[in-house]
Amino acid sequence: MEKHHSILGVQMNASTLRFCDTHISLIASELCNYQPITYPPPDDFYVSVDSDGKPLSKYCDERWDFHAYSRSSFNFNIQKLTPKNKDLLKQVTFLYLYHMPLFPGTVKSIQSTFKLLSKLCKFADLHNITINQIYRFPRLASDLIDFLSPPQHRRVLGILNALLRAENVLGWKIADVAFIEKLVQLQISHIPVQNAYIPPRIWMSLIRSTELVMDAFEMKQAAFAKAWTWVHDAYRHNIENGHSQKSPFVNAGRDTSVKGQMKPSRAKRRIYRGGATVFFEDYGIADLLNRWVGYIPTQKYELQALSVYANLVRDCAFTFILAHSIQRLGEGLSMRSDCFIEDDDPTLGKVALLAGETTKTDPDSDARWVVPTSVERAVKILNFFSRLRLDTTFKVVPQDVQINPYLMTGKIEHWGSGTSSIKVYQWDLGKFVELNPLAFPEKEFIITKDDYNIAYQLTPTLTEKLWFKVDGSWSFNAHQLRRTLAVNLFASNVPDEIIQWMMKHKTVYQSYYYGRNYTRLITNANASDAVTVEANRSAVRELIEIAENSIGDSVHATGKNLIAVNTLKLIEDRDYKKLEELAKSGEASCRRTLLGFCMTQSCEYGGVESAVHCAGVDGKGPCKDAVFSKRNEKGLKALYDANAIELTNLIKNTPRHSKLKAENEAIEVYFHATSQKC
């Protein structure tokens, strides 16, 4: 086994490590798992805490419990590894939790990486070596490819590359450059079945169905609230006064005192003469329940209709939000009651936003999603049900939830069976639609020939799904809403950079995944391929701007002119056609960034949202492909000042604090390079 760094080196590495997840409602820096003294940490170092912040799992434990963060855990016994490989697996898992460049945004997001790393350790065990020795045996590259499934090949390559970049912290590597290149040559091409693009007719049917449910509810909202509250008060009264039959609608008039609790002065059981049938009629919601959840008066399950209907309206509002926000399902489920905000933009006027936590590749505890103003209505409906349920539950509600409830609150009312947790953790759009045929008539979601053609053009791999056929019924999942909106944004000429920001991805090319084949939609609608052409023309315009303003407005970060001589000649000759051909082929590239421009067609760091890597604040020096534009000065000054104000209100060393601090350092580099005052 390779030797680790010296003790001094390990301690230096450990000084930069911090527990990266901040989703727990306590101050991270005050918890015992916040910062290790050394790396690897001692066996008695606590890697996790419970919901109250008390120590939970130690580094030496076979299972690390992170349920207080994201209902997840890491089981180091599952692969029955040898002690040496198990130890190395712990080291690398720990680094994913404590080294920000590796941390994917949440503890839960590390799960898939952990499973693949466990599998690599098992592979090493089968060959009687440790995981950090694999690359020393090039012949094992072929065996490793065979050991992994094709869908895992690309993912493993990403992990190996990331860990190679972190070698100075980890102290060892699984694969060197040569071994990784060997794996690249041997990998089997795999095209995953992408989440489907929902055809416009079916998408509109889904949205219209949710709107009809919300329309009907809003007309009877006050009556529904009164009925719900009366039922809760009756239950509370009957329980507090010792009645065995708690429901106010069953065995009316019967003495149901609990034996041993009978008191001469006890209050009578609260009942409603005529039962639930008369009650719903009197409160004016019987027709509502019948229309949307098929309520028919019976002696059984009378009150279940209230809960089923509440969930229907709640889930319709939630579907409406997901369909208009490009949020992931987990991000939507984490929304709180105060998530909807409006920003007065000097150019656009009022802009509606959702604020919350992003959960994936761009960790940000205060993320923003641009939404239409109509989303406010759905948020208000969800807030209504959350507050109603929290105010009428017998469960103990945490203080932070009582103050700022989750939008998606579970079925926590006392009556009936199947009560759930206060926060909804899992939600299935497909099952929701399927189980509510009165709200979502099946005939509206039968796939027509036009639906089939549009969906196929944008998601060719859909043919692998048995349900995808003409006259078949469309099968929904929540991620389809995200991809559909992303494709529609591409097709509407929304700038790529804006889509990247809305989708919370680190690079534009991650967003391209959702927009794969989007130009076919435009062609299918008898429109031109303006999106692609405009992208190329934009690159040409940026190249011309840099070439003609290199002395006045543009500063090359490394002092070198990055435009090829032949491209400069074409610019001088105003040969736009050839310039566009170069842009199309990728031979001449230019993209706007926060600081100015990037002279490459793609970049793993993006540069749109943040300029940390462009300016070299990450310690690697200014990027050789970066060009700073003095025309960005005003916007960057405003961003710098806004960041500075926000930094004063943030806890130090949290992900957002570190992000804004690094961003301002990058802006300072920009102003220094352009000789402007910050």
> What is the mean predicted confidence (pLDDT) over 141-156?
90
> What is the mean predicted confidence (pLDDT) over 299-319?
88
* pLDDT tens track for 190-248: 666 678 989 989 999 999 999 999 999 999 999 999 999 999 999 999 888 888 777 88
Largest CA distance in the chain: 103
Contact 21, 69 (CB under 8 A): yes
Closest CA to 505 of 405, 371, 362: 362
Q: What is the per-residue pLDDT for 116?
A: 95
Contact 103, 89 (CB under 8 A): no
* pLDDT tens track for 20-52: 876 555 677 788 888 898 999 999 999 998 877
Contact 237, 271 (CB under 8 A): no
Share of the chain above pLDDT 90, in %: 37
- Cα–Cα distance, 511 to 501 (Å, whole number): 9
- Cα–Cα distance, 514 to 361 (Å, whole number): 15
- pLDDT-derived band at 252 (thresholds 50, 70, 90) equals low
- Cα–Cα distance, 449 to 467 (Å, whole number): 14
Angle, vertex CA 664, rays to CA 658 and CA 668, nearest 5? 140
Q: What is the per-residue pLDDT for 222?
A: 97
> What is the mean predicted confidence (pLDDT) over 629-643?
80
**Reduced to 3 states, what is the DSSP secondary structure of residue 18?**
coil
- pLDDT-derived band at 106 (thresholds 50, 70, 90) equals confident
Share of the chain above pLDDT 70, in %: 73
Within 8 A by CB and 6+ apart from 104, the residues are 96, 110, 113, 360, 361, 363
pTM: 0.59
- Cα–Cα distance, 159 to 514 (Å, whole number): 22
* Higher-scoring residue by pLDDT: 78, 624: 78
Q: Strand 340-345 to strand 554-556: parallel, antiparallel, or no bridges (unpaired)? A: unpaired
Contact 120, 140 (CB under 8 A): no
Residue 9 has pLDDT above 60, yes or no: no
- pLDDT-derived band at 672 (thresholds 50, 70, 90) equals confident
3-class secondary structure per residue, 82-98: CHHHHHHHHHHHHHHHH
Domain segments of the chain: what residues?
Answer: 7-186, 442-524, 530-673
Cis peptide before 264 (omega within 30 of 0): no
Q: What is the per-residue pLDDT for 7?
A: 33
Residue 523 has pLDDT above 50, yes or no: no
Closest CA to 635 of 347, 413, 427: 347
* Residues facing residue 354 across a β-bridge: 340, 369
The string of DSSP letters for 454-509 reads: HHHHH-GGGGGSTT-STTSBP---HHHHHHHHHHHHHHTT--HHHHHHHHT-SSHH
What single DSSP character describes residue 423?
B
* Higher-scoring residue by pLDDT: 650, 167: 167
Residue 552 has pLDDT above 60, yes or no: no
Amino acid found at 308:
V
* pLDDT tens track for 339-373: 998 887 665 567 788 888 655 555 555 677 888 88
Angle, vertex CA 178, rays to CA 176 and CA 179, nearest 5? 70
Closest CA to 526 of 454, 447, 448, 451: 454
What single DSSP character describes residue 37?
S
- Cα–Cα distance, 433 to 477 (Å, whole number): 10
* Residues facing residue 555 across a β-bridge: 628
- pLDDT-derived band at 609 (thresholds 50, 70, 90) equals very low
Residue 250 has pLDDT above 90, yes or no: no
* pLDDT tens track for 51-95: 778 889 999 999 999 887 777 889 998 888 999 999 999 999 999
Residue 572 has pLDDT above 70, yes or no: no
- Low-confidence winner among 272-281, 315-324, 356-365 (lowest mean pLDDT): 356-365
- 195: tokens are 């989440």
- pLDDT-derived band at 293 (thresholds 50, 70, 90) equals very high
Within 8 A by CB and 6+ apart from 423, the residues are 333, 401, 406, 408, 409, 410
- pLDDT-derived band at 576 (thresholds 50, 70, 90) equals low
> What is the mean predicted confidence (pLDDT) over 503-517?
52
- Cα–Cα distance, 59 to 86 (Å, whole number): 12
> What is the mean predicted confidence (pLDDT) over 122-146?
95
Residue 135 has pLDDT above 50, yes or no: yes
Tell me, rounded to whole angstroms, the distance of Cα 172 from its chain centroid: 31
* Higher-scoring residue by pLDDT: 129, 550: 129
Within 8 A by CB and 6+ apart from 170, the residues are 91, 92, 95, 163
Amino acid found at 453:
N
Overall size of the chain counted in residues? 678
- Cα–Cα distance, 10 to 168 (Å, whole number): 10
* pLDDT tens track for 469-490: 999 999 999 999 988 887 777 6
* pLDDT tens track for 152-192: 888 899 899 999 988 989 999 999 999 999 998 888 876 66
Place of tokens 């760094």: 5
